[in-house]
Structure 1
Amino acid sequence: MRGLSRLPYFVGALLACQLAACDKQADERLLGYVEGDYIYAALPENGRIADLPVRRGDRVEAGDLLFALDATAATARLDGAKADLAEAERTLADLQTGERPEELAIIEAQLESARASLMLSEPRVKRRRELVKNNIVGTEDLDAAEASILEDRGRIAEYTARLAAGRLPARAEKIAAQEAAIAGFRDAVTEAQWSLDERRAVAPVAGSIEDLYYRPGEEVGAGQAVLQLLAPENIKLKLYVPEPSISGYKVGETLAVTCDGCPANLTAKIDFIAAQAEYTPPVIYSDTSRAKLVFLVEARPQPVADFQWHPGQPVEARKTATPGS
C-alpha cells in the first residue's frame, strides 16, 4: 500500500517530463543555399570570335569588353554607306545652288560678247542709212546691218535668261526627291553603324566571369551566349520556412545569416515569399525538416566588404532579435 501511495508522484513526474518535451521550442533555423541570377552575354549578330580578353574567375567593371566578333564586313558596309551619303549630300548642294561657277562664267562671257557686238552694230546701221540716202550703197547693205542688230539683241536676251536660270536652284520637286534619298542614306549609315557596334559585347554591370562557352576563332550564332556573368547584386538566398511558421515572415524583413567559414553579422532582406507550399527539397534535408511542407523564401544578402557569396553554398538564417525580446 505504501508503494501504491507513491504512484501519483511518479505519474506526475512523467507527465511533467513529457510536457517539458512538448514545450521544447522548435528549431527556428531556416535552411537553404546561395543562388545566382546569371547574365548570359550574347550578341544579335553571328560571326567568328576575334577577341576574348576575359577568363573564368576574372572580375570586370561595367563597360569592359567581354568579347568581339570579326568586324571586317561590317566596317566595309559602314564605309560604303557613308560614301553614298556624302555623294547624295553633294548632289543636293549642287541642286540648291544652281549651275557651277565655271558654267556661269561661260554664259557671262557669251553675254558680254553679244553686248559688244551690239555696240558695233548700232553705229554701222547709222552709217548705212547715210550712205543709202546719198545712193552710195544699196538698201541691201542697210537691211543686213539692221538684221545684225536684231541678232545681237536676241543673243543678249538669250544669255541674260540663261544666266538668271543658271543662278536659280533646281525645281522644288527635284530637291525634295534628293532630300528623301539623303534620309534613306542616313538610315543606312545608322543601320551599318549599329551592326558594327553590335559586334562588341561589353559588361552591362560589374561582376565576375563564371563560365566561358566559346574560344577565339570559333563561330557563334546570333543570340548564343558566349559567357556567363554574375553580378553581386544578382546573388540571392533561397530559404525554406516550415508551413506552420510562414505567417511570421514578411517581405522586407531582415534575417541573420550564417554559413561555414563566413564572417559574422551577415544579414539578408526578404524580397519574395512563395504563395504555395512545397515539400522540403532533398538538397536541404535534415533530421528535423525531412518530408515537411515548406514555403520558399528568397532574400537578398546585404553587401559585405571583401566577402563573396558562392552559388550552391549552404546557409542558415534566423530572424534577427528585436529590441526588448
Structure 2
Amino acid sequence: MLKKVLVVVVIAALIGVAVWVNYKSKNHLPEGFATSNGRLELQRLDVATLYAGRVKQLMVNEGDSVQQNAVLAQLSSEQSNSQVMAAQAGKDRAQETVSRADAEISARRQQEKVAKLDLDNTRQLYQQALVSKAELDRRQAAYEAELAAVKAAQAAKAEAVAAVGQAQAQIQSADSTHEDMLIRAPKAGRVEYRIAEVGNVLAAGSKVVTLLDPSDVSMTVFLPTNTVGKLKVGDEARIVLDGLDAVFPAKIKFIADQAQFTPKYVETADEREKLMYKVKLAIPTEIAIRYNQLLKGGMTGNGYVRLDRQKNWAPQWAIKLPQP
C-alpha cells in the first residue's frame, strides 16, 4: 500500500514539474524581446450628415456589417426635391430663351439679306444717276442696322446659353444636396452605434452612425524608454489574445515621441516606471479582414516586440492563426 502511495506521489510531482516547466517556457521572456498587455482597437469612423434634416429612415442596426457606399440612413428630402424642381424649371426657361434667340437670329439674317439686296440695287441706280446720294446713304444705314440687329440677337443667344449652363449647375448642386440626404458608408465596416434615431432633427455635421473598420485592427501597448529606443516603425511584432490559441503577426505602426504616465490597466514589470511610451501594433489588413468576425474591439491580450532583429522568434510566438 505504501509503495502505491509513493508511486502516486512521484507521478504527481513529475506532472507538477512538467506543468511548471511548460509554464515557464511559455511565459519566460527571452533576452532581446519585450512585452506589455493591451486591448484590441478597431479604427472608428463617425459618419455625419452634411446638411441639416430630419431622420426619415435608418437602414442598419448595431452590429450589422455594411459595404462601402451602402445607405445607412435617409434624411427628409422635401426641401431638396423642391430645389431640384426649381432648378429644372429655371433650365427649361433658359432653353426656351435660347430657342427664341435662334428664331430671332434667323429672322434678322433674312432681313439682312433683303437690306443687302436693296443696297446693291441702289448702288447700281446711283451709278446710273437714277437715285440721289441721300437714298444710297439711307439704304446703307438700313443694311448696317440689320447687321447690328443680327449681332444683338447672337449676343442674346450667348446670354441665354450661359443661363442654361448656370441652370444646369444649379440642378447638379440641387441633385448633390438631394443625394447627400442619403447617408452612406464611406467604407466597408461594422455598425458600432446608432447615434440618431428616426424622427430626430439633426444639424449639419451631426453624427448619425459610428462604424468600426475591421481592416484596421491594432493593439496599443506601453513600453519603457530602454525598450522603445531599440524599436522602429515597421518592426515585426506578435499579438496573443486571451482565450484564443493563436499568435497573430503584427507590425509596429506608431511610436510616440514623448513619454506619458502609464494607464492604470497596464501592468508594468516595475511599478516605479511611471513614464512609458505608447506603441501601436497593427495586424496586417488581409488577416484582419479574414478574421473580422473574430477580432473585436476591447479584447485583451499581450503584445510582443523584438528588440534585436537578429534574434529569431521563440517557438511559442511562431505565427499561429485560428482555425476557420
TM-score, L = length of structure 1 = 0.67
Percent identity of equivalent pairs: 22
Matches for 1:154-173 after TM superposition, within 5 Å: 171-173=153-155
CA RMSD of aligned residues (A): 3.2
- Any conservation in 2 of the 1:237–1:298 contact (CA below 8 Å)? yes
Cα pair distance change 1:51/1:291, threshold 3 Å? farther
Spell out, residue by residue over 1:123-163, the C-alpha distance to the aligned partner (whole angstroms, 9 max, x if none).
xxxxxxxxxxxxxxxxxxxxxxxxxxxxxxxxxx9xxx9xx
Matches for 1:1-325 after TM superposition, within 5 Å: 28-98=34-104, 171-286=153-268, 288-292=269-273, 293-302=275-284, 303-304=287-288, 305-307=290-292, 308-319=294-305, 325=312
Instruction: Name 1:147's counterpart in structure 2.
Output: none
- Any conservation in 1 of the 2:36–2:266 contact (CA below 8 Å)? no
2:239 aligned counterpart, secondary structure? strand
* Structure 2: stretches of 5+ with no match in the other structure: 1-29, 115-138, 313-324
Instruction: Name 2:11's counterpart in structure 1.
Output: none
Shift of 1:323: 7.1
CA distance in 1, matches of 2:80, 2:301: 49
Shift of 1:172: 2.8
Cα pair distance change 1:263/1:69, threshold 3 Å? farther
- Any conservation in 2 of the 1:272–1:299 contact (CA below 8 Å)? yes
Spell out, residue by residue over 1:193-221, the C-alpha distance to the aligned partner (whole angstroms, 9 max, x if none).
11101111111111100001111122111
Shift of 1:79: 1.4
TM-score, L = length of structure 2 = 0.67
* Structure 1: stretches of 5+ with no match in the other structure: 1-23, 102-106, 112-156
- Any conservation in 2 of the 1:48–1:218 contact (CA below 8 Å)? yes
- Any conservation in 2 of the 1:95–1:170 contact (CA below 8 Å)? no
CA distance in 2, matches of 1:240, 1:29: 9
Shift of 1:297: 0.5
Instruction: Name 2:5's counterpart in structure 1.
Output: none
Larger Rg: 1 or 2? 1
Cα pair distance change 1:232/1:263, threshold 3 Å? farther
How many pairs were matched up?
A: 246
Instruction: In structure 1, give the amino acid aligned to 2:101.
Output: L
- Any conservation in 2 of the 1:280–1:291 contact (CA below 8 Å)? no
Cα pair distance change 1:91/1:78, threshold 3 Å? same
- Any conservation in 2 of the 1:67–1:200 contact (CA below 8 Å)? yes
